[in-house]
Amino acid sequence: MNGTLLLTRAVVEFRNSYPELTAQWERQINSGNSRPDLHFCMTLLDDYPYLDSYLRSIEYRIGFAINAYIIHSDWQREFIGSGYDYNLALELANREIQLTYKALNDSEIVTEDPKAKVYHDILANARSGTF
């Protein structure tokens, strides 16, 4: 499995079992009309510039966000199953996704990818207005 893209066995099995749902989520992201948790998983990438650049360089940003959303939902369900109320379970799942994104953002696979470095520089210049 590819941990960098959050392609765990559970995510792959979910995606294979529900391809129509995955396609619906892709359409929701593209239209800017996604559920709050899916929107969170997508927009959180903006806080992790190396990970964001890496995902753009391999054209997998939306796929990654969907994988994160599946994992996020699993964590939420596990926290609720452990007795946490919905709001705390959501907060804990959000925190876990943030820690996952940070770990990937800081990983050598992401920070040392040559194509991603180019995207990172382009995005950094665009954000700073130096173009």
Q: What pLDDT, in 10s, does the model give residues 2-37? A: 889 999 999 999 999 999 999 999 999 999 999 999
pTM: 0.91
pLDDT at 57 over 60: yes
Bridge partners of residue 7, in order along the sequence: 2
Yes or no: say if 48 and 104 are a contact pair by the CB < 8 Å rule.
yes
pLDDT at 131 over 60: no
Q: How confident is the model at residue 130 (pLDDT cuts 50, 70, 90)?
A: low
